[in-house]
Chain A
Amino acid sequence: MKSLRLYAILYLIFLYAPIALLPIFAFNDGTVIAFPLKGFTLEWFKELLTIPALHAAVLNSLIIAVSSALIATCLGICAARAGTRFAFPGKKGILGLIMLPLVLPEIIVAVSLLVVLLQLGLPLGSWTVVLGHVLMCTPFSIAILNSAFQSLDVSLEEAAIDLGETRWSSFRLITLPLVMPGIISSLLIAFTISLDEFIIAFFLTGTNPTLPVYIWGQLRFPQKIPVIMALGTILVLASVILLAIAEYFRRRGVARTGQADAGGFL
């Protein structure tokens, strides 16, 4: 038992030490990333406000993340509903294929998408990044929404139809509110994934870089590194908050329909 605990602690240190370094150097009053620390400063955070290229990248990333999250969640709703409600030939195989990007190396997905797009002669731009991100996010959305739809009694919608509602209105009045926590959770997770994603964005972006691509570009300039540390600190904080909210909604959804928790991502 003791060695197991030691292992767990070492593992956590290994996992989180690099991330812990981010805020440490973000507030450090020195351009060199090295110990000993010099002193406390907000200089690097202030500098973030003065870089137009950074602001453009942030805006671009936000637009891409919002679009990807919306599209992936809509696709997820359709797939999860079809998967939990109807039986059709090849259902397992089709769902398996949809979930494949979860385990495929991102670089493979990125390169193959790039090849296809270039072959088709389509111009690269924000929309191609959205395309790639939808591909990455949809499996997560499906997994989250599946658990939301699965915990739903099939007769609920039938009961609404029986009481005079149409198919669509019973979906809107009964199913949608009940899976709403799952939808919100899916939107947030997909948004976070898209916001942080680098490889696909790097390959498929046109002239406007996303935030991670911009950061990568700045790493060539050593004097910019403390600023990047500050930016990284903000990003980590934002991601953690978004994921926590997503998990909160997922759990609330499970509790609302009175089911046992089948586990999520967190």
Chain B
Amino acid sequence: MKDTLGVERPIIALENVEKYYGEYYALRGISAEIRQGEFFSLLGPSGCGKTTLLRTIAGFEELSGGRLMIDGKDMKRVPANVRPTNMVFQSYAIFPHLTVAENVGFGLRREPLSRDEKARKVAEALEMVGLRGYGARAAHALSGGQRQRVALARALILEPKVLLLDEPLSALDKKMREQMQTELRRLQRQVGITFILVTHDQEEALIMSDRIAVMFEGQIAQLDTPQQLYRRPNTRQVGEFIGVMNFLPATATVSDETHIEVEAAGLGRAVIAPDQLPGGWHPGQTQSVGIRPETMSILFPGETTDRRVAIGTVEDLSYYGDMTYYVVRLDGVDRPMTISMKNLVGRPVLDRGTEARVAWDARSLVLFA
């Protein structure tokens, strides 16, 4: 997908896409480029416009403003049935009156292929999703996981440029979901098609995606790789939505080009590197710092460290077997924070009310407005 200058062209380009229903703005200026062959996720809380954006790309909703390009072509007035996208619906939308094979081969109806070729393609698609030999079954008698696979095979048989998936795993139980997550990922690598996955499950997005767009209220708050999103969220809202993050009131001052000094409640002073600031950010705007639970540890009595140490009290704890989650209140801070610890051999689980010496690093601080 390179243009004449050899520059990688995005498979989907969203330029200031807007969608309103009457007075209600479901999408408020979405701009993003989705790369050829990547596993892209739209992540956000319920009602933030994920489905609306996906349906706009599929062609089921018209844009109220902005521009949508798929593979370099403007999709204005291109109806859903001729767009190079296919969709896996949240309800799977399996045609209940057809067999599995008829469902999977539905998209081939209009293709100029012989009967044998169609049958071969259907068999291949079923094989790919692990449903070999299921072709003659009635579609309405399948289990949830099997329906999901039929929906996938049906959407992939036309070899779309982009596969759109609207919360495809939300109807499955936990075990099935984890299995399908791995399988979807494998399938995506195998076929090399761009996948756009809608999900409100941050863990699922982190596990599966090459890049994630985090959406709030019709806007993209941050578009990044999973690691970058987790380690360097742009805003408190993103930090809070993805994983667990503790926030402490803070101020920051610049001493010279490479040294930024942060003063955070309960932790004290620390010098941080400029790359710990969100992009286009002035240190003077800092109002809080964020720190992830697993980047801190509670020292057991007598343990020494060369990391920074803050003092607090264990207020509560939840024991998970492999992990213990402590709720610790640092001296001089009114909001408690969460610290997660691996339960290693020889490390005692602390009791409520004991003093906690919390070891932390300046590298793991994230600054927020």
**A residues engaging B (CB < 8 A)?**
153, 155-156, 158-166, 174, 177-178, 256-258
Query: Known: A153-B91, A155-B91, A258-B140. Is A162-B97 also a contact (CB below 8 A)?
Result: no
Partner of A158, one of B60, B107, B155: B60
Q: Cα distance A164–B80 when bound, in Å?
A: 8
Q: Cα distance A162–B86 when bound, in Å?
A: 6
Which residues on B sit within 8 Å (CB–CB) of A155?
A: 89-91, 93
Closest 6 CB pairs of A and B: A163-B107, A159-B93, A155-B93, A155-B89, A162-B87, A161-B81
Q: Mark B87-113, 1 if CB is under 8 A from A, else 0.
A: 101110101110000000011011000
Give, as a whole number of angstroms, the nearest-CB distance from B151 to chain A: 8
Give, as a whole number of angstroms, the nearest-CB distance from A165 to chain B: 6
Pick the most buried of B90, B109, B155, B158: most chain A CB atoms within 10 A of its CB: B109
Would you call B89 and A158 a contact (CB within 8 A)?
yes
Whether B58 sits at the interface, judged by CB under 8 Å, is yes
- What number of A-B contacts does a CB cutoff of 8 Å give? 59
Q: Closest B residue to A174 by CB, please name it.
A: B95
Would you call B89 and A165 a contact (CB within 8 A)?
no
Q: Cα distance A258–B90 when bound, in Å?
A: 17
Whether B149 sits at the interface, judged by CB under 8 Å, is no
Q: Cα distance A177–B102 when bound, in Å?
A: 14
Would you call B93 and A153 a contact (CB within 8 A)?
yes
Which residues on A sit within 8 Å (CB–CB) of B97?
A: 177-178, 256
Partner of A164, one of B90, B96, B158: B158
Would you call A162 and B91 a contact (CB within 8 A)?
no
**B residues engaging A (CB < 8 A)?**
58, 60, 79-82, 85-87, 89-91, 93, 95-97, 106-107, 109-110, 140, 154-155, 158
Q: Closest A residue to B107 by CB, please name it.
A: A163
Pick the most buried of B79, B85, B90, B96: most chain A CB atoms within 10 A of its CB: B96
Q: Closest A residue to B111 by CB, please name it.
A: A164
Q: 16 A–B contact pairs at CB < 8 A?
A: A155-B89, A156-B95, A158-B93, A160-B95, A161-B79, A162-B58, A162-B86, A162-B155, A163-B86, A163-B155, A164-B110, A174-B95, A178-B97, A257-B96, A258-B96, A258-B140
Q: Cα distance A144–B155 when bound, in Å?
A: 33
Partner of A256, one of B81, B96, B106: B96
Q: Closest A residue to B82 by CB, please name it.
A: A164
Give, as a whole number of angstroms, the nearest-CB distance from B296 to chain A: 46
Q: Cα distance A164–B87 when bound, in Å?
A: 12
Would you call A159 and B87 a contact (CB within 8 A)?
yes
Q: Closest B residue to A162 by CB, please name it.
A: B87
Which residues on B sit within 8 Å (CB–CB) of A164?
A: 81-82, 107, 109-110, 158
Which residues on B sit within 8 Å (CB–CB) of A156?
A: 93, 95
Partner of B81, one of A165, A177, A257: A165
Which residues on A sit within 8 Å (CB–CB) of B58?
A: 162
Q: Cα distance A160–B80 when bound, in Å?
A: 10
Q: Closest B residue to A178 by CB, please name it.
A: B97
Which residues on A sit within 8 Å (CB–CB) of B93?
A: 153, 155-156, 158-159
Would you call B81 and A162 a contact (CB within 8 A)?
yes
Q: Cα distance A132–B124 when bound, in Å?
A: 57
Which residues on B sit within 8 Å (CB–CB) of A163?
A: 81, 86, 106-107, 109, 154-155, 158
Would you call B96 and A159 a contact (CB within 8 A)?
no
Which residues on A sit within 8 Å (CB–CB) of B95?
A: 156, 159-160, 174
Q: Cα distance A178–B79 when bound, in Å?
A: 25
Give, as a whole number of angstroms, the nearest-CB distance from A87 to chain B: 11
Give, as a whole number of angstroms, the nearest-CB distance from A85 to chain B: 13
Query: Known: A156-B95, A256-B96, A256-B140. Is A161-B80 also a contact (CB below 8 A)?
Result: yes
Which residues on A sit within 8 Å (CB–CB) of B82?
A: 164
Q: Cα distance A163–B86 when bound, in Å?
A: 7
Which residues on A sit within 8 Å (CB–CB) of B107?
A: 163-164
Which residues on B sit within 8 Å (CB–CB) of A158?
A: 60, 80, 87, 89, 93
Which residues on A sit within 8 Å (CB–CB) of B80?
A: 158, 161-162
Q: Other than the known A161-B81, A165-B109, A178-B97, what 12 A-B pairs have Cβ atoms closer than 8 Å?
A: A155-B89, A156-B95, A159-B87, A159-B89, A160-B95, A160-B106, A162-B58, A163-B81, A163-B86, A163-B158, A178-B96, A257-B96
Q: Cα distance A168–B196 when bound, in Å?
A: 28
